[in-house]
Amino acid sequence: MADERLIVALDFHEMDKVQALVENLGESVSYYKVGMELFYSVGAEVVTYLKQQNKEVFLDLKLHDIPNTAAQGLCSLARLGVSILNVHASGSYTMMKTAIDQLRQETARTGIPCPKLIAVTVLTSIDQADWTAIGQKTNIQEQVVRLAKLTKQAGLDGVVASPQEAQSIRQACGEEFMIVTPGIRPSGVATNDQSRIAVPMQALKNGASHLVIGRPITAAKDPHAAALAIIKEMEMVR
């Protein structure tokens, strides 16, 4: 059976690859992430397809703009019926507060279920060298926790952060706060372009509420077996 804490990332360009994977994984996976690569290629078609398959969707477009523009973009995307949307926390408290307020008002007005809104803290591909190169003086973990607190203050449902910061975020923001963690790599799997990573069990022990996993499943010789192995490991942490 599916574990709703597992979100499989559909990092493809084509619908036929999406359909083949979803059919292969079957009932073992109930939650999928649709990011820029796929959405910019096929648009809302992929969300419609996943909803028809009774799957939940995290639409990972990372909006980052002036407050009203970001808010209105989210209101448009909410009409697709996705379960999670996101923005960049670095867009500011004002942007996040405007976004969540307008999103809740619009979905209440239209009768659309309001998706969870979470904020990206610091991308998991960024290491300390990259961080220093863009002029940041604090360390990454301190900044991630600062942004998580700001996100909660603005009224959002949670954050996207690496599993290495999950424990500090959980301590700072409480048990109900969503912590969605990319950068999950089972033992023996290539890290690819991720820098701040952890194995599934450790990420959950650290406080993650959801694990976003792409290539360890989608690029596996047997994606279904790879997903089941990860779910088995996840079931050891509740």
Helix H or strand E encompassing 142: helix 140-154
Neighbour-count burial of 61, counting CB atoms closer than 10 A to its CB (0-12 exposed, 13-18 middle, 19+ buried): middle
Cα separation, 96 vs 68, in Å, equals 10
Q: Is the dihedral of CA 156, 8, 166, 64 positive or negative?
A: negative
Q: Work out the end-to-end distance of the chain between its first and last CA atoms, rounded to an integer number of angstroms.
A: 15
Q: How many whole angstroms from its chain centre is CA 171? A: 20
**Would residue 185 be called left, alpha or beta, if left means φ above 0 and alpha means ψ between -120 and 50 degrees?**
beta
Cα separation, 162 vs 207, in Å, equals 11
Active site residues: 62
| 72-95 burial code (b ≥16 CB/10 A, e <16) | bbbbebbebbbbbbbbbbebbeeb
What one-letter code names the amino acid at 74?
L
